[in-house]
Amino acid sequence: MNARPSDRLAIAIAQLNPTVGDVAGNAEKARRARVTAAGQGADLVVFPELFIAGYPPEDLVLKPAFQAACRTAVETLARETAVPGPALLIGTPWVENGKLYNAVALLDNGVIAALRYKVDLPNYGVFDEKRVFVPGPMPGPVNFRGVRLGVPICEDIWGEEVVECLAETGAELLVVPNGSPYWRDKGDVRLNIAVARVTEQGLPTLYVNQVGGQDELVFDGVSFGLHADCSLAFQLCGFREDIVTTQWARRGNTWRCDNGPMIGGDEADRGDYAACVLGLRDYVNKNGFPGVVIGLSGGVDSALVAAMSVDALGPERVRCVMLPYKFTSQESLDDAAACAKALGVKYETLPIAAAVDGFEKVLAPLFAGLPRDVTEENLQARVRGTILMAISNKFNLMVVTTGNKSEMSVGYATLYGDMNGGFNPVKDLYKTEVFRLCRLRNAWKPEGALGPDGPVIPDNIITRPPTAELRENQKDEDSLPPYAVLDPILERLVEREEPVSAIVAAGFDRDVVARIERLLHIAEYKRRQAAPGVKVTLKNFGRDRRYPITNRFRDPGTPLPAPDVSLVTGKPTRSEAADI
């Protein structure tokens, strides 16, 4: 006996990589996805949040011409659904009665059959949607071919109210379009949130996430489904596009997915590496650069960046340049050459002595009688930065910056020198993590990477003490605590916002913590001028952490006093007490 049409539903998950602002290109992706899904027998194709615009569109979405272009694209796609094939559930900005919404449109039978608006607009961390959108009203389900679909949008499932409203108004199945960016262990967070909503309301859920890089953010995909009993219905791959049609059938009072794919994504260090590669690839490709150039120093940071660049773009699009000075060791020269050879990139050596000496000669009258110091060291870095930018200009290659999060935190970097460049894939990785990812890449290559198999970073680069080689016998630990000490302090200061007293209580030296806290604050002006880079931690420098440059506050390093309730009118709430 054949089941009624409303007892079975084939839903295609379009885990795709849109480009912000490319309305025509994103619409064409949707058309191609519809054709693919039709071939898989889909009834409905579900796209990620704001797919037509690309996510996040930031202030671009406030531009009337952009709003109009998005609407025209959606209306055109709607008319095209008059041709037999699956319906589309697609995210778009939408203006209604002078208000701008983050919307999802159901396109079916040649018309826009339904619109739903995002209710809960996130305004924390990397998100600032309240800046541009108006929250929508509490939604009811969409009636699609006899099935009542609840369509909460991304943040709408992070609280209880929207899903509760959908359940109370008769939703049978939740379809959730998302633009959820990656950070370490984010997949577990998403899954736990979805499980909580399913547990509360008993509604099977399809979670459809975007994939791809957009400036600092990387979206990892890993779309998934949950049954009403919270068992996993399906899970797609991480860090790559996919279109998969899942088969759902009504079983009694609920819906079940038949034989959904179980793929999943890379986690922990593998996830971080894959995110850095994807973020770099999309930044270069979406901005139209034919390739990149890297200053390869023989150190661990530039070696990892070179490996990531080759994995992202292929060796033929990566050019590496060694820029030695009199403090550059033969060991560094040998290591850089070996790394370039292992990666198969074009590699050149351009000595910088003449340029550095020329600058010093120009400055000699002003500097007469003054001792040599960091000024002369920075001249070397700035000469290198200038040369890399000249190569960039001449060959239209983007300079890839190589500074890690440890250096960015404490200002151990030279403005207009080693900070020059267009993008930095390791900007959100601490030095100890850089070492770890180098070892990882030598033992593993992510799926889809364009670099060679096997070890690509010489062991000596990983094992030798880090050095900037800007003076004789220089080591990083001459200026900084060992990275094994520095990085845990920074993680507590930056990601956790812990007070100095708590970090000291955890066993770290008070003077060291106080010094690092001071360096963190005074380096803010440098970070404001740094290249964008991939976010992989809970709190990156840029969209996540926006401290004032002019800032005289310093943590006194003493235990925080108990709040003086007598200064507050009435009994303080938990949040009020925390703010006193």
CB–CB of 163/156 below 8 Å? yes
Rounded Cα distance, 447 and 14, in Å: 20
Active site residue 49: yes
Rounded Cα distance, 209 and 187, in Å: 11
Please identify which of the residues 29, 70, 118, 491 carries the catalytic annotation.
118
Please identify which of the residues 154, 237, 276, 438 carries the catalytic annotation.
154
Q: Break the chain down into helix, strand, coil percent, rounded to 5.
A: 40, 20, 40
Strands 318-322 and 292-295 come out as parallel
Axis crossing angle, helix 483-494 with helix 431-443, rounded to the nearest 10: 110
End-to-end CA distance of the chain: 68
Radius of gyration of the chain (CA): 27
Please name which of 2, 67, 81, 75 lies closest in space to residue 34, comparing C-alpha atoms.
Answer: 81
Rounded Cα distance, 386 and 356, in Å: 11
Assigned token pair, 540: 């990156």
CB–CB of 294/319 below 8 Å? yes
- By the 10 Å C-beta count (0-12 exposed, 13-18 middle, 19+ buried), 92 is classed as buried
Please identify which of the residues 49, 129, 433, 469 carries the catalytic annotation.
49
DSSP state letters, 436-504: HHHHHHHH---TT--S-SS--S-HHHHHSPP---SSTT--GGGTS--HHHHHHHHHHHHTS---HHHHH
Strands 87-96 and 99-108 come out as antiparallel
- Centroid of chain to Cα 318: 22
H-run or E-run covering 80: helix 64-80
Rounded Cα distance, 129 and 135, in Å: 9
Q: Tell me the residue length of the chain.
A: 580
CB atoms within 10 A of CB 334: 13
Catalytic residues, which ones?
A: 49, 118, 154
